[in-house]
Amino acid sequence: MVLDLMTASASNTNESYAFNESSPQPHAGAPDKDSSANPRQAVNKSAIENAVRTILEAVGEDALRDGLLDTPARVARMYEEMFAGLHLDPARHLETTFPEEYDEIVLVRDIPFTSMCEHHLLPFTGVAHVGYLPNGRVVGLSKLARVVEEVARRPQVQERMTQTVANMLEEKLNTKGAAVVIESEHSCMALRGVRKAGTLTVTSSLRGIFRTSQASRSEIMTLINVR
Ligand SMILES: [Zn+2]
């Protein structure tokens, strides 16, 4: 089969985000149809600052000493950035598709991401490989990277992140098959607990033909593993 293999970078996080019309998130008060709203306003930074001050004092620090004075505000800004995806619907990036008779695998490999483990609030960092078999329509390649970026920017577990992206592809693009493989290192495993740095956690989520056909599954796995 003909390959369409490319890599894309999802490192641009400075663009302005827009609210989406129908957030699939189960949380109450999903954002309304206001495409100009800024999700940053949805994060209560002063509450985060107070909480960080409380933690600092609880571990026995003096939250008012020079070096720590600006830490609560800094952490609040960081959380605002790390969790920006909570107020966005990544699936909106898959709304615009193009008719295309290409009926081979499309794979965007090595999309870098950083997410936050919801169990420890420590980052996990790695790459996502996102592929699909089109069903008459294709989506812009960079959109796949954007989906990964926004799904990552919320409290996450890698398993759910993998499934979320695969489900979105299948539902929004009506693909014949979708495959998402994520490889990442979890700092909660490296820094605490078993303290095993350098371990890689790999998760995969296969849909459609990649689940039912052994040949299609090996084909996309081979493409993902090409180095
Ligand atoms: Zn963890």
Q: Is 186 left (phi over 0), alpha (psi -120 to 50) or beta?
A: beta
pLDDT tens-digit map of 5-41: 443 333 333 333 333 333 444 443 344 444 444 555 6
Residue 167 has pLDDT above 60, yes or no: yes
User: Distance from the CA of 103 to the center of ligand 1, in angstroms?
Assistant: 39
Would residue 27 show up in a list of annotated catalytic residues for this protein? no
Helix axes 45-58, 71-82, angle to 10 degrees: 120
Residue 103 has pLDDT above 80, yes or no: yes
- Look up residue 196 and give its DSSP letter: -
- Contact yes or no for 38/88 (Cβ under 8 A): no
Give the model's pLDDT for residue 38. 54
| CA count, 13 A, side-chain hemisphere, 54 | 6
Among 36-50, 67-81, 159-173, 178-192, the least confident range: 36-50
Would residue 81 show up in a list of annotated catalytic residues for this protein? no
Q: Residue 8 phi/psi, 5° resolution?
A: -140, 150
Give the model's pLDDT for residue 226. 73
Cβ < 5 A residues, ion ligand 1 = 117, 119-120, 188
Round to whole Å and give the CA distance between 111 and 182. 9
Q: pTM higher than 0.85 for the full model?
A: no
DSSP 27-54: SSS---S-TT--GGGGS-HHHHHHHHHH
Q: Domain residue spans in the chain?
A: 4-11+90-225, 44-82
Q: Is 202 helix (H, G, I), strand (E, B) or coil?
A: strand
Q: How far is CA 202 from the centre of its chain?
A: 15
- Contact yes or no for 206/178 (Cβ under 8 A): yes
Which CATH number applies to 4-11+90-225? Answer: 3.30.1130.10
Round to whole Å and give the CA distance between 189 and 212. 34
Superfamily of the domain at 44-82: GTP cyclohydrolase I, N-terminal domain (1.10.286.10)
Round to whole Å and give the CA distance between 224 and 71. 41
Torsion sign across C-alpha atoms 63, 65, 69, 75: negative
DSSP 116-161: EETTTTEEEEEEEEEEEE-SSEEE-HHHHHHHHHHHHSSEE-HHHH
User: Distance from the CA of 186 to the center of ligand 1, in angstroms?
Assistant: 7
220 burial type by CB count under 10 A (0-12 exposed, 13-18 middle, 19+ buried): buried
User: Distance from the CA of 122 to the center of ligand 1, in angstroms?
Assistant: 6
Residue 149 has pLDDT above 50, yes or no: yes
Q: How far is CA 75 from the centre of its chain?
A: 20
Among 19-33, 69-83, 92-106, 130-144, the least confident range: 19-33
Residue 4 has pLDDT above 70, yes or no: no
Would residue 119 show up in a list of annotated catalytic residues for this protein? yes
Would residue 120 show up in a list of annotated catalytic residues for this protein? yes
